[in-house]
Structure 1
């Protein structure tokens, strides 16, 4: 369904929100975001909050948002905005967070945001290293998707020529990645510019609905791909990631396996769940994997 405005929300939903916030006198809808049926900064009698909601509270996306609510108390306040309340009304699940002011980060070369992003990812990794939570397994998710294995069964005509000739090798790396991504640490798994908010030299990480138990090195791996998408050369993106203690400790084999697996994921999703941004992201992932494979 199209993302709702405040005025278009069911009366029962608006009433449930205002029961938590007091009267809402202005709303500002974000210019990005796809996973919620309603999301907005609400200016209320008690101040600004960020609210998002799902119309199918008992469906798949409802489960994702319940998961986000469940893990939020475990996240350090310097890393992620606090969940202030949650409510249900008329089939909707609603989450109200501290308002995190600022702008989506710029990940391009030379950006002033790159330092604060490094700092918050470092803080996140250290803070979550001892956190135990009931969360889905990223290793199981990757094993079910098995992107390179699926691509190998019916190789697309436009697949990278080297990849077409080395699908057995790529599938083997994918198997290694599934083994190496297994872990019991909570990882965000969706770090990109729209989920990183910068304000006054500090960055916070939002949208934890996709967080999974995993090897936490997967977060820097996903971020390397986003840096390349933003204009960094593969070598420069890895040089940036080497500032992260977690990435420094990650074995080269794991880095290569993650790069190949992420390439396969985006190659597969670009074809089977196409979205406008995925062509550039696939190209970035391909570039990094080829760099790691010395191609």
Structure 2
């Protein structure tokens, strides 16, 4: 899943010239190690300030994720960093964002960051879904459920809540919109539940945080149960292909959540 990083110095001279034509002469280049999807990830500093640049080679099989991020950025500006400029040529596809100082979010129980995440997710869910090409929830998870139609909706979703995708300062900012999806609003808090469980929360505590997002409280129980099962199946398949420790933790968390939902459903039926 992790894409191998390249260094600034290994970029073609023509690409570095194109970048500096936009930033001005650089005073420093800082590599960024976090994240999974970019071949290039650097913070560039010049007289105009700091800019975060990420990118993939033009022939990379996931270069479409760059185009997705570029398309969605103007529509989610209240909760993300602004796109400053882009380069898309025969060699590289690069996106340059306003640099946003902050640290990766702490999802552990008791973290003060959780309330900031809730506030930003509430803001995201108030934004209209843009009329652009997005992943469709009912298709994205169709391989892992018999009821994908339960996931359909008309909200713009982030869905990828890795701590490296949430920067915390005065507020929580959501970055890396490669997997932006159109679907039911409750799916974003549902995706967050799995990360919370993997970070030490019980399924019940994780859902109590999700319940601070209004859409969660309107979600049909059968739809959430189907999504929990789909998440368990998806993360299990990912872990089989790539058994990194954090992926195994996610698979275990998703399984715990799905089982908790099944137990809860049986309890309701028995009453």
Common fold, TM-score beyond 0.5?
yes
| Mean Cα deviation higher: 25-34 or 228-237 | 25-34
Q: Which has the higher contact order (CA 8 A, sep 6+)?
A: 1
Cα offsets for 1:192-247 (capped at 9, x unmatched): 211100013x1100000111222221111110000000000110000111111111
Question: In structure 1, what is the Cα distance between the partners aligned to 2:12 and 2:135?
Answer: 32
Secondary structure of the 1:133 match is coil
Cα offsets for 1:129-169 (capped at 9, x unmatched): x53322232321222xx24xxxxxxxxxxxxxxxxxxxxxx
Question: In structure 2, what is the Cα distance between the partners aligned to 1:115 and 1:235?
Answer: 17
Cα offsets for 1:5-48 (capped at 9, x unmatched): 21221111111111111112212222311211101111112100
The alignment of Structure 1 onto Structure 2 pairs a total of residues equal to 262
Secondary structure of the 1:293 match is helix
| Paired position in structure 2 for 1:133 | 132
Question: In structure 2, what is the Cα distance between the partners aligned to 1:58 and 1:135?
Answer: 21
What runs of 5+ residues in structure 1 fail to find an aligned partner?
A: 148-173
Secondary structure of the 1:78 match is helix
TM-score where L is the length of structure 1: 0.85
TM-score where L is the length of structure 2: 0.92
Alignment check: 8 A CA contact 2:151 2:187 kept: yes
Secondary structure of the 1:49 match is strand
| Paired position in structure 2 for 1:6 | 8
Question: Root-mean-square deviation (CA), in Å?
Answer: 1.6
1:193–1:205: structure 2 CA closer, same or farther, 3 Å change rule?
same
Alignment check: 8 A CA contact 2:43 2:53 kept: yes
What runs of 5+ residues in structure 2 fail to find an aligned partner?
A: 265-271
Q: CA deviation at 1:90?
A: 5.2
Task: Pick one of 155, 162, 167 that aligns with 1:192.
Answer: 162
Q: CA deviation at 1:89?
A: 4.5
Question: In structure 1, what is the Cα distance between the partners aligned to 2:195 and 2:86?
Answer: 31
Secondary structure of the 2:9 match is coil
Question: In structure 2, what is the Cα distance between the partners aligned to 1:136 and 1:224?
Answer: 21
Alignment check: 8 A CA contact 2:102 2:167 kept: yes
Alignment check: 8 A CA contact 1:105 1:197 kept: yes
